[in-house]
Structure 1
Amino acid sequence: MEEEGASHEKKRLFYSNLVNDNLLDCIVSKVNIIQITPSVNLKSKSILPCDFYYDMKYLIDYSTFCTMEVDNSADRTNLSTSACLKTVHMNGTKPEFNRMSSHKPYKPELALLDIYSGCGGMSTGLCLGAKLSGVDLVTRWALDINKSACESLKLNHPETQIRNESAEDFLDLLKEWDKLCKRYVVKDVQESPKVNSRVLRAAKVNSKTGNKSPSGEFEVASLIDICYGDPTNSGKHGLKFQARWAGFGPSEDTWEPIEGLSKCQDLIRDFVLKGFKAKILPRPGDADVICGGPPCQGISGYNRHRNADSPFDDERNRQIIVFMDIVNFLKPKYVLMENVVDILQFAKGSVGRYALSRLVHMNYQARLGIMAAGCYGLPQYRLRVFFWGAHPDERLPQFALPTHDVILKYGAPTAFERNIVAYDEGQSPDLEKALVLGDAIADLPPVSNNETREQMSYRKPPENEFQKYIRATKWEMMGSACKVTRKAEKSVLYDHLPLPLNEDDYLRVCRIPKKKGANFRDLPGVVVGANNVARRDPKTEMELPSGKQMVPDYALNFSEGKSTKPFARLWWDETVPTVLTKPDPHCQVNIWYAFIND
């Protein structure tokens, strides 16, 4: 990758108010340290002669690197090595961050690029939150390798330019697109000779008339799209255009390498000019904000085959490098990256430290925070790590403090304890009551194990603000007047489908008592010893109609027999753990009784 092997500038220091006592004997010599103005385009040749320089300050809370005011009264400052970086604890206080605002006037609308977008949840949430804060943030571009996710995002955000390709190919496309724009837009191309758009190919049959093109030639009518990769699995990667052929319909479109379109310069020019005006792809400076959650499967503790010795050998983990490479190329004003907490634990936290240091290496201000979704009004705990990055001349965003009374119970690594987003000790915030499972799903209708309906009516009207919000339209969420003039229709529930259980597991679930804390230990055929280890009871052991044991071996052996998670029930008054894409009752607490209180 472009920056994978890059090392930090050896002359660069960071100002800090941390202090440490050092013996006089440790002083080697006097050094010349200067303060410079931070910039993402900083070049070493622009730095005055010195032993060291600093352009940012470091604060231990949230591992923050941020801009500090430049002292213009003197060009350079002499400091001894004993005074370079002081180290003292901040007594638990949160940092007082600078109030420097942008030197440039803000645009009326900020453009966002969502990488690894999925269905667009992260960018949607960012745009909603920005709107409530008075900032008009709009998702202009999105990228995901999953085709279904891209199709879902397009249904909800038809105005967004969505790319269904890998992040590596997207980065190469951005670089090639920038070159094309410089060639056909920035430079004067009026003197370029006009050429025809005929390309030699094998004779092709017109799908409508059945006629063959004369002399094995046919004409490119227009260029429809552009990509970098191998969309036709030809084995050749590269820059390609989607060609529409004269006399043929869209079903006959083909992907052609740019080398094969040498006689189509006019069409390439027209496509680039049109695409440049429509900003079908961002160029450096176009994306004000880049957000994304690179794949977590190579990092997550659920992955039993993680490679802690060489974490970036996993292609999924390398996506963090690609994400930062895209940031480095586009240079947005703000960056927000999200991932699981294991990014700070796996491989001694090297992956998370890389992400933070990469932002700092690119001369971005940076901040790392650990946040629990339940603390912000969701009925699940869901601990996640967020990395903020900001241009040196922008205000580094702070993390929103909790709004709901949820106790951080587990998951945060002790080495990053000061990165947990929370109130200072002694503060008494007026927090709302935590949301629980009942608040979220009490209005949902019951479904069978083999449910097939893709849409249905809600079981009852919304009973709380959360349920009202979930049913709200995009315009209602954003506090805007609804653009639809027809009368409000009844809310429809989509995709309320359970994970189908096999017959054995379904019978086991049906035997789990409908009470709080119930799990596989309540099945007939299990006894629990004084050491809290579950084992079989041969006196009450039962078999299923399939001939298998009612209590499976994997449940008894999970966590050496001491776990209570297999086939465990959630309850209405609980803030549930992280909800996963594929709930597995064999090792997760994810069964609830849908008919209680009926």
Structure 2
Amino acid sequence: MTNSKRKSSASGKNADSASSSVPEKRMKGVKEENEEVLADAVAVQAPAASDGASPARSSDRKPEKKVRAVVKDEEESRFTGDTVPADEARQRWPHRYLGKKRTGTIGGPETLKGTEPPKEFIQARRHYTEALIDGRVLFKLGDNGYVQAGEDEDSYICRIVEMFEGVDGDPYFCAQWFYRAKDTVIQACSDLIDDKRVFLSEIKDDNPLDCLLEKLKIVRVPLDLDKATKRAMLSDGDYYYDMSYLVPFSSYQNLPPDNEADGNESDSTISSESDSNVAVKDDKRSEMRMLDLYSGCGAMSTGLCLGANMANVNLVTRWAVDLNTYACQSLKLNHPETEARNESAEDFLKLLKEWEKLCQSFSLVGGGDPITVEKEESENAEEDDEDNDDVDLGEEVFEVEKVLSICYGDPKEIKKPGLYLKIRWKNYGPAEDTWEPIDGLGDCQDKIKQFVVDGFNSKILPLPGDVDVICGGPPCQGISGFNRFRNKESPLDDEKNKQLVVYMDIVEYLKPRFVLMENVVDIVKFAKGFLGRYALARLVSMNYQARVGLMTAGSYGLPQFRMRMFMWGARPNEKLPQYPLPTHNVVTRGGSPVEFESNTVVHDDIKGVELEKELYLGDAISDLPSVTNDEERDEISYEDMPKTEFQKFISLMKEDMPGFVGVDSSDHYLYDHRPYKLNEDDYQRACQIPKRKGANFRDLKGVRVRSDNRVEWDPDVERVYLPSGKPLVPDYAMTFVEGRSTKPFGRLWWDEIVPTVVTRAEPHNQVILHPMQDRVLTVRENARLQGFPDYYKLLGPIKERYMQVGNAVAVPVARALGYSLAMSCKGTATEAPVFILPKKFPNLEENQ
């Protein structure tokens, strides 16, 4: 509606704004004395969020920050009916009747992380339940409507939660705002969300009554329904809502109970959530089953299982998928209970769909028709028999003894991808096993059926509904700073980012109870965070509750910083897991984008929290025995006793590790304590790096550091050469980062926190030399910096093991998240986005 007589506007915040703080929603002209008359020009307050959200608008046009004065017209916009009795008004809205010079916040004194600090609000003379707008539109308390925004802006959407006359005599209403998807953190990915869907926020503020426009019908619907059903329930309504959008950690979560959410009598109030204790339902199940996608060597799922089991939830990694052969071997070695599949995620998804068809064809699950493998063969049997008359009767006939495995792809490398079965041939051994296309095994129905029935019973592959948790970090190499051809305009058009789509496709197909996605922080930085917003939008479009948090590994008991993004998802009838707050006093270094700064998992008031002391490199590795540059043993004995609490914990045997469930082990050796062997030239260079803090190639002969901290050749020193004839100081070290870097051949020190564990153990452009030994850190030393228990053994060439460790999720972070997951499964998680872990976590026995 457009009305030339109404000139109110909203001073809103554009959803694309990079500001991380909530803009002030102050009433223009408010005086410190509530009794004084307000100025005639009062700005309508547009809600805004710390992650760049703004209230629901009717189109994509960006608002301009323009403010116009309200023209008051008592005959057009005024309260009607009786006032709310004084006693009732004071009971319902006590903050409006505090007396002289009192201020407060709407909704109470508490301020959540990411929301605005307390502001002044208008005190009231009296409250009403009805108002007439434009002399023709009757609004009642609890109704929904459009609110006029600024010039060239689109109308906002709100619910009226208060109507009152201010102490200045002017009429006001308090609005609780709705958001469209494009006005939340999802922004540019809102096309994945139904345009009739809005999200209820917690943000409330005061506005002049004259700013109301048209009345709206907004229907509350159940969350766990498809879009078509929701639209049908909408009937003649304007919008529907099924979820709340909360600013802290960009949270999309279940609506509060009806009586807390709105009290709008005109709305449909069909409950969209099951009771909160529904999450306990699976406690009857002996185990919770997890699928680890892009699993690597299994660090993320290992930590999740340890943490969940510490809280008495039996989480087990039943399936894992990774394209790296050695990583799968490492995972299987440490988790023999896991079906570790060495294949691409795309092929895995295709296999799952074909597996479901096979199970249906043998009536193991509903749907499908009886199997008709190689139908043409049976139809043409007679013709084949006639043709066989010409076949040499002495030719050997192969008979299938057993079906061993199944895959989707091209295992025979004949450029014919499809569904294949691995066959053990009768009278032949394992060396002669072959992969055969299933459509060529039409005469082996009994063997195929036996394999499918056995596989269905043993859950060799998950069917929709079988998986409780999906975790994983889909690689998005297209956002890497090392990729000079990054597609900033359309990141999903880059094949290197397609795994994010595949990950979400698998989630959509299997519909797990919980989802946990990990990724580098660049996912919410690159291209204005498009890929992170896409992942959120996919989860919300699938009716998952979701939230985003940025966590630093060192804050959970490791001597490295390493910030990563973790995105939770939960089905409608589950508690959305929280983020565990830091346990150790590590200053979270920069790295989070401005728009997502409020998503960083930190204590708001660090002074009021008792945290463990931060850990340093020496706390983690000082007890490990000395090894040389050419060490080749995969197993050696410990020499020294642990010197720190971290070392005592990390070297525990399997059965002694808190949260471990499995087969006991004997006293283990020290595995993988061997370094990547430097070539002779690099070894000679490492030997000449001084053994002191901060030493690097700049300490070698012939290098001079200028006043601007750049290096240059010292003209007074003749260039030194190694026995091989190569220079002691390589040219690349002098030119790296335009001569400003101190990383080449840098030596770590005992009292330092490592920035991040890397995948390549080469000293040319990173600080990775041992403090006192002339070598790079070993695989085990890197593994300790990632929190891998010492009993966790890795397989593959030495370079592959470094990659497995460097690509892993820090185990202590995953352990803390696993504990959070268990709280949600048991129904004990709260609605708050963060929680405090038990004291001394994970050494909970110290609390007893």
Indicate yes or no: 2:267 matched with 1:77: yes
Indicate yes or no: 2:739 matched with 1:561: yes
Q: How does 1:163-242 map to 2 (within 5 A)?
A: 163-184=341-362, 185-186=364-365, 217-242=397-422
Percent identity of equivalent pairs: 53
Q: Whole-Å Cα distance in 1 between the matches of residues 280 and 684 of structure 2?
A: 65
Matched with 1:32 is 217
Which of 681, 684, 703 lines up with 1:507 in the alignment?
684
Q: Whole-Å Cα distance in 1 between the matches of residues 255 and 726 of structure 2?
A: 67
Matched with 1:102 is 278
Matched with 1:530 is 707
Compute the displacement of 1:583 (Å): 2.8
Contact 2:703 2:712 in 1 (8 A): yes
Q: How does 1:413-424 map to 2 (within 5 A)?
A: 413-424=593-604
Which of 374, 388, 391 lines up with 2:554 in the alignment?
374
Change over 3 Å in CA distance of 1:99–1:527 after alignment to 2: farther
Q: Whole-Å Cα distance in 2 between the matches of residues 302 and 446 of structure 1?
A: 35
Contact 2:328 2:340 in 1 (8 A): yes
Matched with 2:233 is 47
Which of 732, 743, 754 lines up with 1:576 in the alignment?
754
Compute the displacement of 1:469 (Å): 2.1
Matched with 2:319 is 141
Q: Whole-Å Cα distance in 2 between the matches of residues 403 and 515 of structure 1?
A: 30
Matched with 1:111 is 289
1:464-508 residue CA offsets vs partner (Å, 9 max, x unmatched):
2211222222221135699659xx53x421221222222222222
Q: What SS does the corresponding residue of 1:273 show, helix, strand or coil?
A: helix
User: What amino acid maps onto 1:251 in structure 2?
Assistant: A
Compute the displacement of 1:188 (Å): 10
Compute the displacement of 1:20 (Å): 7.0
Matched with 1:587 is 765
Q: Whole-Å Cα distance in 1 between the matches of residues 368 and 196 of structure 2?
A: 44
Q: What SS does the corresponding residue of 1:18 show, helix, strand or coil?
A: strand
Q: What SS does the corresponding residue of 2:407 show, helix, strand or coil?
A: strand
Q: TM-score, normalised on structure 1? A: 0.86
Contact 1:543 1:550 in 2 (8 A): yes
Q: Whole-Å Cα distance in 2 between the matches of residues 190 and 383 of structure 1?
A: 50
Q: Whole-Å Cα distance in 2 between the matches of residues 147 and 192 of structure 1?
A: 33
1:365-403 residue CA offsets vs partner (Å, 9 max, x unmatched):
001100011000011111111010000110000011100
Indicate yes or no: 2:472 matched with 1:282: no
Matched with 2:610 is 430
Compute the displacement of 1:564 (Å): 1.8
Q: Whole-Å Cα distance in 2 between the matches of residues 520 and 99 of structure 1?
A: 63
Q: What SS does the corresponding residue of 1:318 show, helix, strand or coil?
A: helix
Change over 3 Å in CA distance of 1:30–1:12 after alignment to 2: same
1:54-101 residue CA offsets vs partner (Å, 9 max, x unmatched):
1111111111111013528778539xxxxxxxxxxxxxxxxxxx9934
Contact 1:372 1:382 in 2 (8 A): yes
Q: Whole-Å Cα distance in 1 between the matches of residues 191 and 413 of structure 2?
A: 33
User: What amino acid maps onto 1:35 in structure 2?
Assistant: R
Compute the displacement of 1:191 (Å): 9.5
Contact 1:62 1:367 in 2 (8 A): yes
User: What amino acid maps onto 1:166 in structure 2?
Assistant: S
Compute the displacement of 1:328 (Å): 0.3
Indicate yes or no: 2:695 matched with 1:518: yes
Change over 3 Å in CA distance of 1:483–1:347 after alignment to 2: closer
Matched with 1:342 is 522
Q: How does 1:488-499 map to 2 (within 5 A)?
A: 489=667, 491-499=668-676
1:294-331 residue CA offsets vs partner (Å, 9 max, x unmatched):
12443333444433334334434211110110000000
User: What amino acid maps onto 1:54 in structure 2?
Assistant: Y
Contact 1:289 1:332 in 2 (8 A): yes
Q: What SS does the corresponding residue of 1:29 show, helix, strand or coil?
A: strand
Compute the displacement of 1:595 (Å): 5.2
User: What amino acid maps onto 2:467 in structure 1?
Assistant: A
Q: Whole-Å Cα distance in 1 between the matches of residues 368 and 532 of structure 2?
A: 46
Compute the displacement of 1:193 (Å): 11
Which of 286, 294, 306 lines up with 1:128 in the alignment?
306
Q: Whole-Å Cα distance in 1 between the matches of residues 275 and 601 of structure 2?
A: 20
Q: Whole-Å Cα distance in 1 between the matches of residues 663 and 471 of structure 2?
A: 28
Change over 3 Å in CA distance of 1:505–1:570 after alignment to 2: same
Contact 1:35 1:76 in 2 (8 A): no
Change over 3 Å in CA distance of 1:311–1:573 after alignment to 2: same
Indicate yes or no: 2:652 matched with 1:475: no
Q: How many residues align?
A: 562
Q: What SS does the corresponding residue of 1:433 show, helix, strand or coil?
A: coil
Q: What SS does the corresponding residue of 1:256 show, helix, strand or coil?
A: strand
Change over 3 Å in CA distance of 1:587–1:120 after alignment to 2: same
Q: Whole-Å Cα distance in 2 between the matches of residues 182 and 25 of structure 1?
A: 62
Compute the displacement of 1:286 (Å): 0.3
Q: TM-score, normalised on structure 2? A: 0.62
Contact 1:504 1:544 in 2 (8 A): no
1:244-296 residue CA offsets vs partner (Å, 9 max, x unmatched):
22222222222222211222222222221111111110011100000001124
Q: Whole-Å Cα distance in 1 between the matches of residues 294 and 692 of structure 2?
A: 40
Q: Whole-Å Cα distance in 1 between the matches of residues 532 and 757 of structure 2?
A: 23
Contact 1:174 1:281 in 2 (8 A): yes
User: What amino acid maps onto 2:351 in structure 1?
Assistant: L
Q: Whole-Å Cα distance in 2 between the matches of residues 33 and 482 of structure 1?
A: 52
Change over 3 Å in CA distance of 1:380–1:310 after alignment to 2: same
Q: Whole-Å Cα distance in 2 between the matches of residues 14 and 524 of structure 1?
A: 65
Matched with 1:56 is 243
Change over 3 Å in CA distance of 1:188–1:330 after alignment to 2: closer
Compute the displacement of 1:446 (Å): 1.9
Which of 302, 305, 308 lines up with 2:488 in the alignment?
308
Compute the displacement of 1:339 (Å): 0.8
Q: Whole-Å Cα distance in 2 between the matches of residues 130 and 524 of structure 1?
A: 54
Kindly name which structure, 1 or 2, has the bigger radius of gyration based on alpha carbons. 2
Contact 1:541 1:550 in 2 (8 A): no
CA RMSD, aligned part only?
3.2
Compute the displacement of 1:355 (Å): 1.2
Q: What SS does the corresponding residue of 1:397 show, helix, strand or coil?
A: coil
Q: Whole-Å Cα distance in 2 between the matches of residues 507 and 192 of structure 1?
A: 67
Contact 2:373 2:441 in 1 (8 A): no
Change over 3 Å in CA distance of 1:192–1:406 after alignment to 2: closer
Q: Whole-Å Cα distance in 1 between the matches of residues 294 and 312 of structure 2?
A: 26
Compute the displacement of 1:214 (Å): 5.4
Matched with 1:68 is 255
Contact 2:469 2:514 in 1 (8 A): yes
Matched with 1:364 is 544
Compute the displacement of 1:22 (Å): 7.5
Matched with 1:83 is none
Matched with 1:445 is 625
User: What amino acid maps onto 1:544 in structure 2?
Assistant: Y
User: What amino acid maps onto 1:499 in structure 2?
Assistant: Y
Matched with 2:328 is 150
Change over 3 Å in CA distance of 1:515–1:303 after alignment to 2: farther
User: What amino acid maps onto 1:105 in structure 2?
Assistant: K
Contact 1:298 1:316 in 2 (8 A): yes
Change over 3 Å in CA distance of 1:103–1:591 after alignment to 2: closer
Q: Whole-Å Cα distance in 1 between the matches of residues 642 and 309 of structure 2?
A: 25
Change over 3 Å in CA distance of 1:359–1:75 after alignment to 2: farther
Contact 1:543 1:549 in 2 (8 A): yes
Q: Whole-Å Cα distance in 2 between the matches of residues 305 and 450 of structure 1?
A: 38
Q: What SS does the corresponding residue of 2:467 show, helix, strand or coil?
A: coil
Matched with 1:206 is none
Q: Whole-Å Cα distance in 2 between the matches of residues 389 and 553 of structure 1?
A: 49
